[in-house]
Amino acid sequence: MEPGGLEWLLVPMQRLVSWGAAGAMVFGGVVPYIPQYRDIRRTQNAEGFSTYVCLVLLVANILRILFWFGRRFESPLLWQSIIMIITMLLMLKLCTEVRVSNELNVKRRSFAAADSKDEEIKAPPKRSYLDFDLNYFWHWSKFTDYVQCVLTFTGVTGYITYLWLDSSLFVETLGFLAVFTEAMLGVPQLYRNYQNRSTEGMSIKMVLMWTSGDTFKTVYFILNQAPFQFSICGLLQVFVDIAILLQVYLYSHYPQKPVSHTAHPASTKAL
């Protein structure tokens, strides 16, 4: 058979593989959060998941979208950021509703235990974004406050990007900040494990899921010649994941000391 006779088969297969890789890039990053979302909704307990994870990923992906206006990279990476932003907003909405509901239930139980006829059940204090109280930053009582904060950040950074869009130094720095912020997402978990000298409560399957996802993402960056910031920070993210895996192995086979508190399985990469 002549070499050209296989083109009718190879070309569609190459396109299929390309579409599959692009689809994995777009939706692969949100897959680990699906079981977390379902677990929080089922247990009505969001203590094991830090909403600061949402903050970091929202900032990182908003900056990445703004970077796209200065340097047009592949569209799957752009759609990945859009999907991740939507996912983090959904996580924030659920966590806020669960937290506020639990605070109200605790308040009701405390009044019931006091058995006082003179006192009334009071709702937990309202914490608003417009209060500008740094003590309660990112711990507000309504989901709309988080939306206002995200919109404000997007508006301010978008306006600055518009003014400096002609500066290649600014654009490249913006791209680096976007991917570096996301790459540092696992560092707090790494440090927490080091402090506790234990990874008890962490899900090894979840860590492996992040490691494989970050590895695939980095290889995708390199093969598709994405901006160098993506490749460098992708490699950094893989190194952090591998370090967490090493902690899981070391602390499970060579325990250092008793753990003061256990981490929730969903808290991997939590802040």
**260 in a domain, yes or no?**
no
Is it the case that residue 249 has pLDDT exceeding 70?
Answer: yes
- Binning pLDDT at 50, 70 and 90, where does residue 25 land? confident
Establish if 176 belongs to a structural domain. yes
- Greater confidence, 262 or 182? 182
Q: pLDDT tens digit string along 164-195?
A: 999 999 999 998 899 888 888 888 778 878 88
d(CA 81, CA 96) in angstroms, rounded, equals 22
Query: What domain range is 150 assigned to?
Result: 9-104+138-253
Of the pLDDT bands very low, low, confident and very high (cuts 50, 70, 90), residue 159 is very high
- Name the DSSP class of 124: P
Per-residue pLDDT at 262 = 45
111 by Cβ neighbours in 10 Å (0-12 / 13-18 / 19+) ranks as middle
Residue 4 resides in a domain: no
The set of residues, in sequence order, having a beta carbon less than 8 Å from that of 18 and lying 6+ positions away, is: none
The proportion of the chain whose per-residue pLDDT surpasses 90, expressed as a percent, equals: 26
- Tell me, yes or no, whether 270 lies in a domain: no
Residue 128 included in any domain: no
Residue 57 included in any domain: yes
**Structural domain contains residue 127:** no
The answer to whether residue 257 scores a pLDDT higher than 70 is: no
| Assigned domain for 230 exists | yes
Question: What is the number of structural domains in the chain?
Answer: 1
Count of C-beta atoms within a 10 Å radius of residue 234: 23
Question: Residue 138, by phi and psi: left (phi above 0), alpha (psi -120 to 50) or beta?
Answer: left
pLDDT, tens digit (0-9, with 9 covering 90-100), for 190-227: 887 888 787 765 667 777 877 888 888 888 888 877 78
Phi, psi (5° rounding) for residue 175?
-65, -40
